[in-house]
Amino acid sequence: MGYVAEPGLQAFRDTGSEDKWTAETVTAIRHWSPTMLSFRTTRYRGFRFTPGHYARLALPDAEGASVWRPYSVVSAAYDEYLEFLAILVPEGAFSAALGRLQVGDTIQVDKNSYGFLTVDQLAPGNDLWLLASGTGLGPMISILRDPAVWANFNKLIVVHSVRHADELAYRDEIAALPEVDFLAEGGASLGYLPIVTRDPGAAALNQRIPVLLADGQLEKAAKCEIGVDHSRLMICGNPAMATELRQLLGKLGFATNRRGILGQMAFEKYW
C-alpha cells in the first residue's frame, strides 16, 4: 500500500515558536500491516538531527492532553520532511492516538533530537552491521541514507527481524539504495537479510538474531565474518534482544563508546 498524501502541502517550515516544540502537519501515512505504519510530517527548518537520532512526538489523548513518546527518525538529514515508523501496541496511550491519525492532523515535535545510536559513536571499521527488530529498522534507514556511511565503510549489512512478512518495511527502498547516485559514489556494497520468525517459509532466515549470530548463520548468509578489528554493529529494537546481543558481542571483545573511547557497537532499546 502506498502513502496517503495530501498534495501541495508544504514541508520545510522556517518559523518555529518560543516553545520547546513545534506544531507540525501530518503529510502522509503508509500502512505496512494493520499494526505497523509510517507517517511523514512537515519539518521545522531548525530541527536538526544526526541519522540514528530520535525525536520526541506528542499527540492528544481522548481528553486532549498531550502524550509524548520518543520515535526514531527514518528520513534523511537532508529531507525537507520528517518520517517515522511506528507499531500500534494494544492499550498503548500513544498507539491509540496514532490509530486515529489522519493526513492534515497536527503533531507536536520537540525541537531537539536525542540518542547515541549514531555512527560517530563507533571507531572506524570496514563492515557496518545494522541489526534491527520490528520498528527498530527506522533509524537504520536514516543511517543508510547518509552518503558518509557509504564512503566510510566497505560493506553495509542490514538485518531486519520481524514476526510476519508484511512487517518487512522499506524492503523495496533498501533494495533501491545502491541505485542512488550520491550513495553509490561512496563505493560500499549493501547486503539485506530479512528474518521472518512467525510465518514459516516466508524468508530464508527464521530464527532470532542472537541465535543466528551465535551459530554463525548470519555471517554465512552475509558472506562476511564478524570480528572486533573490522566489524561495527548498531542494534535497535526489542530490549531483550539488545541485552542478549550485548552479552554475546561483549564476549567477542566488542564494547560501546565509553568516556570518549570510540566503541565497536551501539544500541537503542525501544522499551
Ligand X SMILES: NC(=O)c1ccc[n+]([C@@H]2O[C@H](COP(=O)([O-])OP(=O)(O)OC[C@H]3O[C@@H](n4cnc5c(N)ncnc54)[C@H](OP(=O)(O)O)[C@@H]3O)[C@@H](O)[C@H]2O)c1
Bridge partners of 24, per DSSP, are 107
Q: Single out the residue of 32, 39, 49, 54 in contact with ligand FAD (rule: CB under 6 A).
A: 54
State the nearest-atom distance from the C-beta of 223 to ligand X, in Å.
Answer: 22
Q: Which stretch binds ligand FAD (CB under 6 A): 43-51, 83-91, 161-169, 185-193?
A: 83-91
Q: Does 35 bind ligand FAD (CB under 6 A)?
A: no
Nearer to ligand FAD, 64 or 201 (CB): 64
Nearer to ligand X, 57 or 209 (CB): 209
Picked from ligand FAD, ligand X, none, the partner binding residue 95 (CB below 5 to 8 A depending on kind) is ligand FAD
Mask: binding to ligand X, 229-258, rule CB under 6 A, as x and -? --------xx-xx--x--------------
> What gap in Å lies between CA 129 and CA 269, rounded to an integer?
17
Nearer to ligand FAD, 125 or 139 (CB): 139
Q: Does 95 bind ligand FAD (CB under 6 A)?
A: yes
Q: Does 200 bind ligand X (CB under 6 A)?
A: no
Q: C-alpha distances in angstroms, 258 versus 86, 90, 121, 233?
A: 30, 36, 9, 15
**Under a CB-based contact definition with an 8 Å cutoff, are residues 77 and 118 in contact?**
no
Q: Does 93 bind ligand FAD (CB under 6 A)?
A: yes
